[in-house]
Structure 1
């Protein structure tokens, strides 16, 4: 169903569908099921999907944190950043995904305006911590492998500082809607919440907030990731050419290239739909669009709580072998030694 833009809306209220009704409260996502946006089957399917994200996202991220606590060998500077990401993902899955599971089951934002604000804020906070953690991982890989600062050594306290910055940046971006710069309201099928980038109410300065999010929370980390991984690929390529006869170096170059491609694609899948949709709305004020489309970016961002750990943690042989050992599926440390050897080979390719 199509919707136009509204410029005057009651506090904590969403755009009614359609706008030309004389009884707009009949469509309030805080009061009644939003049956006009989809069939019962669609809502229940979304509820099941959110339950899957809740269970899988919570499980894999709890396991990541538990493994790091139990196995001292995992407490490296890179793994600190991955655990930071796991904590952020856990926040999104336990609050964001679970809330959406309940609301899709009832077919409206049954938790009310306060629940909407809580879900929107926690999902935004956790998502942005995870996003900035991806940038910190890229910087760490660039510093360790490419050695742009010569003999500078990236240590645990640097990783802790990087993790702290991700929370500072995330709070700087997710707190403003709670204090009047934009606001958290129902989005898409009205069963999840996010910053208001639909309306043009000057009271909330929504457009400036969207531009801030696009620049600070998408363009900057994405540019950082592309810059760092581009240099990483170049360094690996040069090392492979210089050591054309080294099977281990050639293998390391292929592994790093594959991982970089997967990481960049994962980042874009997480955040490009949100950034693209929001910027399209800002630059096409007055044009109608299907409200249900806004559910897609929300689902993709929440799904990152599952596929980000797969990319950054489960592809880490040391983490993977420790997880398997913790759940009783493996007693062998063979993969750990393989991982250590592979890491050593990759770390040696940088300039002295």
Structure 2
């Protein structure tokens, strides 16, 4: 959250100045703490349950195991871990301004949040730029380039995690436990440098890499995709008859992912601006009201972890069926045979192959959405037509 006496730490698990053990300058009344605790508890329960369900829907059903959906699993896993391992512990730290969780978890808490946030946003970026998926930038704008294979998908996911760990490593390396006027603190004790410029540039670079740069890439990718779909149609396909349904389904998928990206951007923007301001005006952390501001901004940022499952359920037929099956034990949820067929049966497909230019004309019915990807040849069928294991 920042501190008045030690250098501001623009990571997910910074703390405030304290005065005494157990009771700090920023201790709040019990009723206020209970309200914040309830808000964070609801957030964590919805995020963990929703993202775990998304992972189950994809991994437990072969029809759902597609390239796009593997990136969605990666995104859901990152969001689940963010809610489970960062929201709770950082809320306790921010509300009491005392670190209760030991040295090892201090290292973890300064490594993991930046890592999973990087994984989240770059999983979304990979979906936007995916060359195999029919809804991705390369597949729509350059449909005849080589597709992304299953091993390639695993390599991209592994690369995202490795780069994320490398980016967060400096904060973990310089993490330490200190005693500040009788209170235990988990801080990042950066080495002395000329006016703190190294620290400032590191923080700005992290925010640029985990927020502004990938959002700019996705804005460009989805802008070109939208122009291609809404103005010129899909290269290599004619938008008439059954193919018109295909085009509409792809538009629906793009709308879904745009909602996901915009939601993420809105949730995290105030939080990043808060820390950018704190790097230039550190005295803001000394005002008592800043605790309430921080808890509100941190809740908004963490809430991004619970919206994606809701978006998938509302905008995608197969995920909606999956959620009904997953929560069939609830008395108000009644899955149907159609729900089971959505996840377990391959839809009928009539294919005419036009051998000129290796293009295929497809006649399909149904919804194409994040769960509906395929491994066709270059210029081949869109994701959702067949399943890929």
Relative to the length of structure 2, the TM-score reads 0.69
Please tell me whether residue 214 in structure 1 is matched to residue 207 in structure 2.
yes
> Which whole-Å deviations, capped at 9, do the CAs of 1:136-163 have from their partners, x for residues lacking one?
1111242464142524223323322221
| Among candidates 315, 323, 330, match of residue 335 of structure 2 | 330
Relative to structure 1, the CA distance from residue 14 to residue 94 in structure 2 (aligned partners, 3 Å threshold; closer, same or farther) is: closer
Shift of 1:306: 0.7
Higher helix share: 1
| Among candidates 33, 57, 64, match of residue 54 of structure 2 | 64
Q: State the partner residue of 1:291.
A: 290
Unaligned runs of 5+ in 1: 17-24
| Among candidates 265, 277, 288, match of residue 262 of structure 2 | 265
Q: State the partner residue of 2:300.
A: 300
> Which whole-Å deviations, capped at 9, do the CAs of 1:52-110 have from their partners, x for residues lacking one?
22222221222222223321111100110111112212222222233246557867433
What CA distance in whole angstroms lies between the structure 2 residues aligned with 1:341 and 1:194?
Answer: 53
Relative to structure 1, the CA distance from residue 204 to residue 177 in structure 2 (aligned partners, 3 Å threshold; closer, same or farther) is: farther
Relative to structure 1, the CA distance from residue 196 to residue 342 in structure 2 (aligned partners, 3 Å threshold; closer, same or farther) is: farther
Please tell me whether residue 97 in structure 1 is matched to residue 87 in structure 2.
yes
Q: State the partner residue of 2:227.
A: 234
What CA distance in whole angstroms lies between the structure 1 residues aligned with 2:51 and 2:27?
Answer: 33
| Among candidates 119, 126, 133, match of residue 136 of structure 1 | 126
Alignment of 1:98-177 (within 5 A): 98-100=88-90, 108-112=98-102, 114-140=104-130, 141-143=135-137, 145-148=139-142, 150-177=144-171
Shift of 1:299: 1.8
> Which whole-Å deviations, capped at 9, do the CAs of 1:254-288 have from their partners, x for residues lacking one?
63564254133212123212322222223445667
Shift of 1:7: 5.1
Q: State the partner residue of 1:343.
A: 368
What CA distance in whole angstroms lies between the structure 1 residues aligned with 2:94 and 2:38?
Answer: 9
Contact 1:177 1:183 in 2 (8 A): no
> Which whole-Å deviations, capped at 9, do the CAs of 1:166-200 have from their partners, x for residues lacking one?
212211222210113x8899xxxx99989799x99
Q: State the partner residue of 2:386.
A: none
What CA distance in whole angstroms lies between the structure 1 residues aligned with 2:278 and 2:209?
Answer: 18
Contact 1:6 1:200 in 2 (8 A): no
CA RMSD of aligned residues (A): 4.3
> Which whole-Å deviations, capped at 9, do the CAs of 1:2-28 have from their partners, x for residues lacking one?
98675599xx99553xxxxxxxx625x
Contact 1:240 1:250 in 2 (8 A): yes
Q: State the partner residue of 1:317.
A: 317
Relative to structure 1, the CA distance from residue 346 to residue 15 in structure 2 (aligned partners, 3 Å threshold; closer, same or farther) is: closer
Q: Secondary structure at the match of 1:342?
A: coil
Relative to structure 1, the CA distance from residue 54 to residue 204 in structure 2 (aligned partners, 3 Å threshold; closer, same or farther) is: farther
Corresponding residue pairs, total: 331
Relative to the length of structure 1, the TM-score reads 0.75
Shift of 1:233: 0.6
Q: Secondary structure at the match of 2:77?
A: helix
More off after superposition, 34-43 vs 331-340:
331-340
> Which whole-Å deviations, capped at 9, do the CAs of 1:211-258 have from their partners, x for residues lacking one?
111222222211111111111111111246985898636744763564
